[in-house]
Amino acid sequence: MDIATLVGIVVAFGLVIISIILGGDATWFVNYPSLMIVVGGTMGATLLAYPLSEVLSVFGVAKNVFLHKSRSVQNLILQLVDFAKKARKDGILSFESQLKELDDPFMVEGLQLAIDGMDSNAIDEILSTDIQYVEERHRLGAEIFSTMGGFAPAVGMLGTIIGLVQMLMQMEDPSQIGAPMAVALLTTFYGTLLANLLFLPIAAKLKTRSNQEILVSQMVLEGIISIQSGDNHRVVEQKLRAFIARKARESEAAAEAAPA
């Protein structure tokens, strides 16, 4: 599991729970009708906004928030530079025996296209289309969670209105005001909690993950096209390092220049 995600969940929900416990009885904040209104209303509104298949598929995308294996950009550059050296020495057809050893389907696809003899423009067009599809799929996942983050507080306010109406209708019997008031306040609490500590953070993390994955895919694309064009491995390396932030490149250069 991603450490930042785990720490964020523990800190966010942990501090809220601790503050509730320190302030009194934690059971005061447990109200099933309020929870049903917020969760049911949010999911219902989301299903109205998006097709069922897209809502269900978003849970598969959401796993990237919790289970994500980061790829080292430096290792990727070294791998592609090694491929460039091998291509210059043994020819691009020599990669065919190595494809089964690679765990990156995108890289395998690109190398296979190069082995099949496609020119650079065709490879660029095919792989760019793949990147656009992945980017759109990730964008939709983040968008759905952002939408849920917008619906949850609104549904919470709807529950608050329901609770206030029930409370006002029972003003003649003060002993019956407590439960409607709890619904009125807790639905807003649940909606705000889910939106700001779950749905919106997940949407933000998915956008970050998508940007990282797209950057890596673009590096692979640039590397494969350069290799297919027969560029020297030093040229390939320079092209790929252009994807790294200037400060990171300067820091790396300083580390390499420092005496051992």
Cα angle 208, 210, 213 (rounded to 5 degrees) comes to 110
In angstroms, rounded to a whole number, what is the distance separating the alpha carbons of residues 142 and 150? 12
- Same-domain pairing of 214 and 123: yes
User: Which residue type is seen at 236?
Assistant: V
Q: Which two tokens stand for residue 227?
A: 């290799």
User: Which residue type is seen at 254?
Assistant: A
DSSP codes of every residue in 51-93: -HHHHHHHHHHHHHHHS--PPPHHHHHHHHHHHHHHHHHH-GG
- Same-domain pairing of 1 and 116: no
- Same-domain pairing of 23 and 42: no
pLDDT of the residue at 138: 84
Instruction: Classify residue 255: in a domain, yes or no.
Output: no
- Same-domain pairing of 219 and 158: yes
Instruction: Classify residue 8: in a domain, yes or no.
Output: yes
Instruction: Classify residue 123: in a domain, yes or no.
Output: yes
Instruction: Classify residue 21: in a domain, yes or no.
Output: yes
- Same-domain pairing of 25 and 68: no
Instruction: Classify residue 46: in a domain, yes or no.
Output: yes
Instruction: Classify residue 260: in a domain, yes or no.
Output: no
Instruction: Classify residue 253: in a domain, yes or no.
Output: no
Domain, as residue range, for 154? 32-245
DSSP structure class, residue 95: G
- Reported as a pLDDT band with limits 50, 70 and 90, residue 1 is low
In angstroms, rounded to a whole number, what is the distance separating the alpha carbons of residues 195 and 158? 15
Q: Which two tokens stand for residue 148?
A: 């849920």
- Same-domain pairing of 184 and 160: yes
Q: Around Cβ 32, how many Cβ atoms within 10 Å?
A: 9
Instruction: Classify residue 252: in a domain, yes or no.
Output: no
pLDDT of the residue at 144: 92
Q: Which of 45-49, 51-55, 162-166, 254-258 has the highest mean pLDDT?
A: 45-49
215 CB-contact burial (10 Å; exposed 0-12 / middle 13-18 / buried 19+): middle
Q: Are 240 and 83 in contact (CB under 8 A)?
A: no
In angstroms, rounded to a whole number, what is the distance separating the alpha carbons of residues 221 and 215? 10
84 against 257, higher pLDDT? 84
Q: Which two tokens stand for residue 142?
A: 């983040």
Tell me the helix, strand and coil percentages in the chain, rounded to 5. Answer: 85, 0, 15
- Same-domain pairing of 75 and 118: yes
Which of 135, 180, 145 is closest to 161 using CA atoms? 180
Average pLDDT of the chain to the nearest whole number: 84
- Same-domain pairing of 25 and 123: no
- Same-domain pairing of 95 and 3: no
Q: Are 94 and 31 in contact (CB under 8 A)?
A: no
- Whether the pTM exceeds 0.85: the reply is no
In angstroms, rounded to a whole number, what is the distance separating the alpha carbons of residues 75 and 57? 31
Minimum mean pLDDT among 121-135, 176-190, 192-206: which range?
Answer: 176-190
Tallying the residues shown for the chain, one arrives at: 260
- Same-domain pairing of 75 and 12: no
- Same-domain pairing of 11 and 123: no
Alpha helices in 170-199 (DSSP H): 178-194
- Same-domain pairing of 11 and 67: no
pLDDT of 258 strictly over 60? no
* Number of domains into which the chain is organized: 2
Which of 166, 179, 147 is closest to 42 using CA atoms? 147
Phi, psi of 226 (to 5 degrees): -65, -40
Among all chains, which residue has been given the structure tokens 């109406």?
165
Q: Mind listing the pLDDT tens digit for each residue in 62-88? A: 777 777 677 778 888 888 888 888 888
pLDDT of 61 strictly over 80? no
